[in-house]
Chains A and B, each alone.
Chain A
Amino acid sequence: MSFPWARHYEPKHPLMQWVDERLPLPRFVYNAIGAGYPVPRNLNYWWNFGVLAGVVLVIQIVTGIVLAMHFHSSGAEAFNSVNGGIMRDVNGGWFLRFAHANGASMFFVVLYIHMFRGLYYGSYKAPREMVWLLGVVIFLLTMATAFMGYVLPWGQMSFWGAQVITGFFSAIPVVGEWIRVWLLGGYAPDDATLNRFFSLHYLLPFVIVGAVILHIWALHIPGSSNPTGVEVKGEQDTVPFHPYYTAKDGFGLGVFMVIYTALIFFAPDLLGHPDNYIPANGLSTPAHIVPEWYFWPFYAILRAFTADFILPAKLWGVLAMFGSILILFFLPWLDKSPVRSGNYRPLYRLSFWVLIVDVLVLGFCGGSPAEPLYVMLSQIAAAYYFAHFLIIVPIISRIETPKPLPGSITEAVLGKSA
């Protein structure tokens, strides 16, 4: 599963030889993220974000496990165990809590950059479709995990977020209300909801780890893509992952950690909502129920559907919101262009940047109150979102004349002379 010139693991110490003959785990790691994995030499900084996502996942699991030791998953105790116990009485608890809450935000920052990098450089195309599909699975699992985690402190936004999100299922005809009650374990969010969300919030990260292992396995079959989109042709096109990309990722990780820790220590509540510092109260609905910022684009799509047309508006909104993510599963077959990298696809590159602006506009609308101006804006932006993936990209991939591709990665790096 690698290039013929990949280095082979040769254990030097007798103990490592002994281990390698019985359980070749060191060999496995060596071939996965060590010197045994040849990587294109021309990866830019946008390729740092996969490793960063892995690091944030580990940080989330470690901080989460310790937080779970001090958390009480009951409606009466959850809020106080977080805002009283963990934040005040547990040694360093405030740090763990802020690291975990902001870690969720940073996870999405990193994931979104990683995904948009894949979109721009055509990383979803053959032979890497499976890498992309597993990536979308990871994204969905992460969204579910983040949502359930946000419910746990049992503040006002936790409670009403759970109410709204499970309310989506009541849009399903006939059985919808029954499904909603089944998911919540009651007619409204309560202890039963909180306990199952806690259980699943603890489980899903390990499912994500499993999906990440598959994601990396699938990546190692064809090897990493690169900014030119031209496949590796020979040894001169690659460098061993270690030390070259461990060093580059080390620097990227440093920059990431500076930003992440600055957020934890200097602005820990910046990305949160003040209402979640109010204990959950089923009798008092917040003026504006908004999810965490990373769900805003999808929330805007949900709320953009305000007209009943054959189906009720709410069902349209729910279908469109889930559809907006499910579309990504079909992307490898919607974009038929044989050229991967947006660098050589002038029309696609233009549509990519319009999509970026579009998603930012959706995010802005999703975080704003449902006033006519924002609703109009989100309706236009949501229409463009679907047009991009289902109409514009398929058409572009047929009519576009790509720019000439370099003969090889080395040629692109060294210029024509090589």
Chain B
Amino acid sequence: MLPLFVRSIKFLVGGGFIFVLLIALYGTITAEKPAVTAEQEFHLHPKEDVTFSFDNPVLGKFDVAQLQRGYQVYQEVCAACHSLSLVSFRELKGLGYNDAQVKKLASDFDNHAKQPTLDPKTGDRGERGNLPSDHFPHIPYSGNGTPPDLSLITKARHGGARYVYSILTGYADQNGYKNEKGQELLREFPGAKSPPGTFFNPYFANLNIAMPKPLTSDGQVTYLDGTRATVPQMAQDVSAFLTWASEPTMETRKQTGLAVVLFLLVTTLLAFGAYRTVWAGVKH
């Protein structure tokens, strides 16, 4: 027989942890509630009232015309500040462009940034134009804030394309802004006034984004396919394009998946038949 101490060590250890947890629990209960912040009351989740052609996780596809419009918005508006460095120009063929068009799109991008080069003889830095085989070049930016690279933006934010759409269409006038409960932001939280150089946008995590409203008016982009370029239209198109940019293989993934899962379902059915056949006559 083990000594009593050894036999009861489990109760001592268990009791010890529980005792400390109860002290901690008492501390949590009696602690003062942390003050409610402006972010908690006014931050909005991405808008749900917009649909995308790729929403369906199994059957959803990209709308090629929309991707082309979205690229136009990226190229004419976003690319002034935001890089897309994981994407290659050659991948734009996935948007339905042919080789000659991709070549043109690559060299058209020269007005934003070119590819850095080193002279092999002198070691001097230089530049050359963009080719289809290049990645999108890094876009230098020296203003306020740090524009994130957009290659993975729809994967890197809760809500994905809806988040991007909501940010682009979510700018509001902070003066007199009320939430759903009817609280007025600057009345409830006078300290929440946007710091200089930032802009109020309730879809942004801390409500104040350094990016000025990028899509300011209808017709800012003249769509080549004649679609009317309203602000929501442009926002939706560029969100779709950035979803493509974050995973150009999405359609391949879903199509492969459909074949794989159907194949496995049939295999599993056969495996079930094999199982029943093998076990026939054996009670278990």
Interface size, chain B (Cβ < 8 Å):
63
Contact of A269 among B21, B155, B267, B268 (CB under 8 A): B155
Residue of B nearest to A410 (CB): B283
Interface contact A251-B271, CB-CB below 8 Å: yes
Residue of B nearest to A89 (CB): B88
- When distances are taken between beta carbons in the complex, the residues of chain B under 8 Å from A278 are 148, 152, 156
Expressed in whole angstroms, the minimum distance between the Cβ of A53 and any Cβ of chain B is: 18
In chain A, positions 40-76 with a C-beta closer than 8 Å to chain B are: 41-43
Complex Cα distance, B264 from A25, in Å, reads 32
Expressed in whole angstroms, the minimum distance between the Cβ of A40 and any Cβ of chain B is: 9
B278 at the binding interface (Cβ < 8 Å)? yes
Interface contact B24-A387, CB-CB below 8 Å: no
Interface contact A258-B14, CB-CB below 8 Å: no
- When distances are taken between beta carbons in the complex, the residues of chain B under 8 Å from A382 are 17, 21
B18 at the binding interface (Cβ < 8 Å)? yes
Interface contact B271-A253, CB-CB below 8 Å: yes
Interface contact A264-B257, CB-CB below 8 Å: yes
Interface contact B268-A390, CB-CB below 8 Å: no
Complex Cα distance, B259 from A261, in Å, reads 11
Complex Cα distance, B268 from A265, in Å, reads 18
Interface contact B22-A247, CB-CB below 8 Å: no
A330 at the binding interface (Cβ < 8 Å)? yes
- When distances are taken between beta carbons in the complex, the residues of chain B under 8 Å from A309 are 19-20, 23
Interface contact B17-A376, CB-CB below 8 Å: no
Contact of A94 among B15, B25, B158, B249 (CB under 8 A): B249
Interface contact A258-B261, CB-CB below 8 Å: yes
In chain A, positions 370-405 with a C-beta closer than 8 Å to chain B are: 372, 375-376, 379-380, 382-383, 386-387, 389-391, 394
Contact of A95 among B248, B254, B256 (CB under 8 A): B256
Q: Binding site of B, secondary structure by majority: helix, strand, loop or mixed?
A: helix
B265 at the binding interface (Cβ < 8 Å)? yes
Complex Cα distance, B270 from A258, in Å, reads 13
A254 and B267 in contact, given A244-B278, A265-B256, A379-B25 (Cβ under 8 angstroms) = yes
Interface contact B274-A372, CB-CB below 8 Å: no
- When distances are taken between beta carbons in the complex, the residues of chain A under 8 Å from B13 are 323, 386, 390
Contact of A305 among B24, B152, B248, B254 (CB under 8 A): B24
Interface size, chain A (Cβ < 8 Å):
62
- When distances are taken between beta carbons in the complex, the residues of chain B under 8 Å from A247 are 271, 274-275, 277-279
Interface contact B155-A250, CB-CB below 8 Å: no
- When distances are taken between beta carbons in the complex, the residues of chain B under 8 Å from A267 are 57
B63 at the binding interface (Cβ < 8 Å)? no
Expressed in whole angstroms, the minimum distance between the Cβ of B20 and any Cβ of chain A is: 5
B34 at the binding interface (Cβ < 8 Å)? yes
B31 at the binding interface (Cβ < 8 Å)? yes
Expressed in whole angstroms, the minimum distance between the Cβ of A28 and any Cβ of chain B is: 24
Interface contact A307-B284, CB-CB below 8 Å: no
A266 and B57 in contact, given A41-B282, A41-B284, A304-B21 (Cβ under 8 angstroms) = yes
Interface contact B247-A94, CB-CB below 8 Å: yes
Q: Binding site of A, secondary structure by majority: helix, strand, loop or mixed?
A: helix
Counting residue pairs across A and B whose Cβ atoms lie within 8 Å, the total is 165
B118 at the binding interface (Cβ < 8 Å)? no
A413 at the binding interface (Cβ < 8 Å)? yes
Complex Cα distance, B18 from A264, in Å, reads 41
Interface contact A391-B10, CB-CB below 8 Å: yes
Contact of B24 among A254, A268, A313, A389 (CB under 8 A): A313
- When distances are taken between beta carbons in the complex, the residues of chain B under 8 Å from A43 are 284
Residue of B nearest to A386 (CB): B17
A338 at the binding interface (Cβ < 8 Å)? no
B121 at the binding interface (Cβ < 8 Å)? no
- When distances are taken between beta carbons in the complex, the residues of chain A under 8 Å from B17 are 320, 323, 382-383, 386, 390
Complex Cα distance, B86 from A167, in Å, reads 32
Contact of A330 among B10, B11, B22 (CB under 8 A): B10
Expressed in whole angstroms, the minimum distance between the Cβ of B45 and any Cβ of chain A is: 13
Interface contact A387-B284, CB-CB below 8 Å: no
Interface contact A258-B264, CB-CB below 8 Å: yes
Complex Cα distance, B266 from A298, in Å, reads 39
Interface contact B20-A391, CB-CB below 8 Å: no
- When distances are taken between beta carbons in the complex, the residues of chain A under 8 Å from B4 are none
A83 at the binding interface (Cβ < 8 Å)? yes
Contact of B28 among A88, A266, A376 (CB under 8 A): A376
Residue of A nearest to B284 (CB): A41
Expressed in whole angstroms, the minimum distance between the Cβ of B280 and any Cβ of chain A is: 11
Contact of A386 among B14, B247, B274, B283 (CB under 8 A): B14
A262 at the binding interface (Cβ < 8 Å)? yes
Expressed in whole angstroms, the minimum distance between the Cβ of A277 and any Cβ of chain B is: 4
- When distances are taken between beta carbons in the complex, the residues of chain B under 8 Å from A357 are none
- When distances are taken between beta carbons in the complex, the residues of chain B under 8 Å from A87 are 247, 249
Interface contact A254-B264, CB-CB below 8 Å: yes
Residue of A nearest to B31 (CB): A372
Interface contact B279-A248, CB-CB below 8 Å: yes
Interface contact B265-A258, CB-CB below 8 Å: yes
B191 at the binding interface (Cβ < 8 Å)? no
In chain A, positions 228-283 with a C-beta closer than 8 Å to chain B are: 239, 243-244, 247-248, 250-251, 253-255, 257-258, 261-262, 264-269, 274-275, 277-278
Residue of A nearest to B250 (CB): A94
Expressed in whole angstroms, the minimum distance between the Cβ of B60 and any Cβ of chain A is: 10
- When distances are taken between beta carbons in the complex, the residues of chain A under 8 Å from B155 are 269, 274, 277
Expressed in whole angstroms, the minimum distance between the Cβ of B37 and any Cβ of chain A is: 12
Interface contact B271-A391, CB-CB below 8 Å: no
Complex Cα distance, B14 from A323, in Å, reads 10
A163 at the binding interface (Cβ < 8 Å)? no
Expressed in whole angstroms, the minimum distance between the Cβ of B21 and any Cβ of chain A is: 4
Interface contact B10-A379, CB-CB below 8 Å: no
B178 at the binding interface (Cβ < 8 Å)? no
Expressed in whole angstroms, the minimum distance between the Cβ of B69 and any Cβ of chain A is: 23
9 contacts between A and B (CB under 8 A): A41-B284, A247-B278, A248-B275, A258-B264, A265-B258, A307-B20, A379-B28, A386-B14, A389-B14
What 5 pairs across the A-B complex have the smallest Cβ distances?
A: A265-B257, A390-B14, A254-B268, A277-B156, A307-B24
Which residues of B come within 8 Å of A, CB atoms? 10-11, 13-15, 17-29, 31, 33-34, 57-58, 86-88, 91, 135, 148, 151-152, 155-158, 205, 246-249, 252-254, 256-258, 260-261, 264-265, 267-269, 271-272, 274-275, 277-279, 282-284
